[in-house]
Amino acid sequence: MAQNLVYLVTGGCGYIGGHIVKLLVTQEYVKEVRIFDLAENEEIMQCNTASIPVKIIKGDVTNYNQVEKAMEGVHVVIHTAALVDFLDMFPFTKMKAINVGGTENVINACLTMDVPYLVYTSSISAVGPNKHSEPMIRATEETVYTGESLLAYGKTKANAEKLVLQANGKKINNGKQIVTCVIRPSYVYGEQTQNLLDSYLTAKAENGIINYVEPENTHKPNAYVGNIAWMHVLAARHLQLKPDLLGGEVYYAYDSTPFMQRYKLLYELFAEIDPSIKLGTRIPYWKMWLIICTYNIFRFVLRPFWDLKPFLTFNILKIIVTSFSYETDKASKHFGYQPLYSWPECKKRTCDWLKKMKKRQNDHGKCKQK
């Protein structure tokens, strides 16, 4: 079993990437963890241990020369870097350049620099929902679901996925072959989940009420970010141990979080830290559609003076009301994945972080009053 391995995590200062780095420094077979990212994260920079250093390389995945240089002496790449944009706030060309072009750069650099193992972080958005909002319920990796992705972000992730899977088995410079696999997370929660914090603050601003649009019969899988990170770490290790089994495969990310609608998960978490939080009523689809329509008119009128950010799009509204879920144990069968954290632990870790953020918000508010 190979030891003293150098790992490179692209986007390692980001959400999932940061959690992957924190787990990698606990693995005895890892010699060094490198982070390739445009941003810097002080918390991640403190992940150095006595035996496993963490090195941050500031760079852009759209710059091939920077990517290639970062891979000198690397054995394994976990590619999480991406422009995540569900609200179409960025031009499609920019998102494509990062998510597709950046992935192409990572693959080509792996081939040139003799890096034999690559794990790619994709998304359920790469599968759908499609433009017809057709549901997918409790699917597996073998389920066939067709149609163009509803989200521009999903289109870029689907294209990047194809590149990664097509690269599997290609010859690298030393005559060996590159082995690749894909992890598809879905609805992620946990520490550092910005939209989770935003949802809590929104509920507080609305008298502690969580109103929702999602129908009660929708199916949506939720998974804790620490378990998703753990799946990446295990997949990367077993690419080396079982290349014929994992190579060219796709794995949905899952854990023991109970199946529930997103608003119910929010209530479970928020009520734990704030008993005043209550479930409200469902906002009808037509009403939400009119609200988005009105907001877009205001955005258009005010655009010359004020660039309002969209709070919701018609496509996201369609996704909210569309059942799109999977149920699988493929990762368990292929590389022995079991969630690192149980549902009670996931809940506690997330709530502890929310309490910390809540206190910080309160302290900030008191400072402003003074």
Report pLDDT digits (tens) over 239-294: 999 999 999 999 999 999 998 889 999 999 999 888 899 999 999 999 999 999 99
Q: Which of 153, 251, 254, 263 is catalytic?
A: 153
| Count of structural domains within the chain | 1
pLDDT, position 206: 86
pLDDT digits (tens, 9 = 90+) for 174-217: 778 999 999 999 999 999 888 888 888 888 888 889 999 999 88
- Identify whether 51 is part of a domain: yes
Burial environment of residue 370 by CB neighbours within 10 A (0 to 12, 13 to 18, 19 or more)? exposed
DSSP letter (8 states) at residue 259: P
267 has catalytic annotation: no
Instruction: Give 50's DSSP letter.
Output: S
Asked whether residue 67 is assigned to any structural domain, the reply reads yes
Q: Looking at the domain assignment, is residue 289 inside a domain?
A: no
Indicate whether 115 belongs to any domain.
yes
Statement: the pTM of the whole predicted model exceeds 0.85: yes
The string of DSSP letters for 104-164 reads HHHHHHHHHTT--EEEEE--GGGT--BTT---EEEE-TT----S-BSSHHHHHHHHHHHHH
Q: Would 352 be classed as within a structural domain?
A: no
Q: What is the CATH number of the domain that holds 56?
A: 3.40.50.720
Residue 156, domain member (yes or no): yes
Per-residue tokens: 201: 């603050």
Provide the residue range defining the domain that includes 172. 5-192+220-257+324-340
The Cα 161–Cα 145 span in angstroms is: 15
Residue 354, helix vs strand vs coil: helix
Digit-coded pLDDT (tens) for 79-137: 999 998 888 888 899 999 999 999 999 999 999 999 999 999 999 999 999 999 999 99
Instruction: Determine, yes or no, domain membership for 29.
Output: yes
Alpha carbon separation from 44 to 5, 72, 140, 163, 192 (Å, rounded): 19, 22, 34, 29, 12
| 66 found inside a domain | yes
